[in-house]
Structure 1
Amino acid sequence: MTSPADLAAALGRRRAYWHAGVCLAVLLGALYLARRHWPAVESGAGRLAVADHGWLLVGATAAVGTWAASALAQQGAVLRRLPGPRLVAAQFAASAANHLLPAGLGAGAVNLRFLMRCGLPAGRAAAALAVKATAGAVVRLVLLALLAPVWPGLLRIPHVPAAVPAAALGATALAAVLLATPWWPRCRRGLGAVLADIRALHARRARAAALWGGSLAFAALHALVLVAVTRAVGLPLAPLQVALLYLAASSAAALLPTPGGLGSLDAALALALTAAGTPGAAAASAVLGYRLLTMWLPLLPGLLVLWLLVRRKAL
Structure 2
Amino acid sequence: MAKTIQHIRALLRRIPARQIACTAPIVLVGYWVVLHWPLIASGGRQLLDANRVWLVAAMVATGLGWVAVSLMRQGVVLERLPAGRLLATQFAAGAANHLLPAGIGASAVNLRFMRACGLPPARSAAAIALYFLAECVGRGALLVLLIAVFPHALRLHGLLPNGISFSMGTTAAVIAAVCAAAVTGLLAVRKVRTAIRSFLATALTDARTLHARPSRALALWAGALAFPALQAAGLVAVSMALAMPVPIGHVAVAYVAASIAAAALPTPGGLGSVDAALVFALVASGASVAAATSVVLGFRIVTVWLPLIPGALTLGALVRWKVV
TM-score over 0.5 (shorter chain): yes
What's the counterpart of residue 243 of structure 1? 252
Q: For residues 28-107 of structure 1, what are the structure 2 equivalents within 5 Å?
A: 28-107=27-106
Are 1:206 and 2:205 matched, yes or no? no
Shift of 1:154: 2.8
Q: Deviations over 1:130-187 (max 9, x none)?
A: 1111111101111111222333343356656999966753442332233233131331
Shift of 1:19: 2.2
Cα distance change of structure 1 residues 174 and 132 upon mapping to structure 2, 3 Å threshold: closer
What's the counterpart of residue 4 of structure 1? none
The answer to whether the Cα contact below 8 Å between 2:21 and 2:319 also exists between their aligned partners in 1 is no
What's the counterpart of residue 185 of structure 2? 177
Cα distance change of structure 1 residues 310 and 151 upon mapping to structure 2, 3 Å threshold: same
Shift of 1:290: 0.8
- SS for the counterpart of 1:186 is helix
The answer to whether the Cα contact below 8 Å between 2:22 and 2:317 also exists between their aligned partners in 1 is no
The answer to whether the Cα contact below 8 Å between 2:76 and 2:220 also exists between their aligned partners in 1 is yes
Cα distance change of structure 1 residues 281 and 173 upon mapping to structure 2, 3 Å threshold: closer
The answer to whether the Cα contact below 8 Å between 2:275 and 2:296 also exists between their aligned partners in 1 is yes
What's the counterpart of residue 119 of structure 1? 118
Query: What is the distance in 2 between the residues matched to 1:60 and 1:25?
Result: 26
Shift of 1:123: 0.7
Query: What is the distance in 2 between the residues matched to 1:97 and 1:61?
Result: 21
Query: What is the distance in 1 between the residues matched to 2:171 and 2:246?
Result: 34
- SS for the counterpart of 2:153 is coil
Structure 2 segments unaligned to the other structure (5+ residues): 1-9
- SS for the counterpart of 1:231 is helix
Cα distance change of structure 1 residues 194 and 234 upon mapping to structure 2, 3 Å threshold: same
Query: What is the distance in 1 between the residues matched to 2:293 and 2:23?
Result: 32
Q: For residues 17-28 of structure 1, what are the structure 2 equivalents within 5 Å?
A: 17-28=16-27
Cα distance change of structure 1 residues 205 and 272 upon mapping to structure 2, 3 Å threshold: same
Query: What is the distance in 2 between the residues matched to 1:268 and 1:289?
Result: 15
User: How many residues are aligned here?
Assistant: 305
Query: What is the distance in 1 between the residues matched to 2:32 and 2:290?
Result: 23
**Cα RMSD for the two superposed structures:** 2.2
Query: What is the distance in 2 between the residues matched to 1:151 and 1:191?
Result: 38
Are 1:232 and 2:241 matched, yes or no? yes
What's the counterpart of residue 231 of structure 2? 222
Query: What is the distance in 2 between the residues matched to 1:53 and 1:122?
Result: 45
Query: What is the distance in 2 between the residues matched to 1:222 and 1:20?
Result: 34
Cα distance change of structure 1 residues 170 and 264 upon mapping to structure 2, 3 Å threshold: closer
What's the counterpart of residue 6 of structure 2? none
Are 1:253 and 2:279 matched, yes or no? no
Are 1:294 and 2:298 matched, yes or no? no
Q: Which moved more, 1:96-105 or 1:266-275?
A: 266-275
Q: Which moved more, 1:155-164 or 1:172-181?
A: 155-164
Identity %: 49
Q: What TM-score, normalized by structure 2, do the two folds share? A: 0.88
Shift of 1:96: 0.4
The answer to whether the Cα contact below 8 Å between 2:142 and 2:229 also exists between their aligned partners in 1 is no
- SS for the counterpart of 1:185 is helix
Cα distance change of structure 1 residues 170 and 68 upon mapping to structure 2, 3 Å threshold: closer
Q: Deviations over 1:22-67 (max 9, x none)?
A: 3433323222221121111111111111010000000001111111
Query: What is the distance in 1 between the residues matched to 2:126 and 2:280?
Result: 35
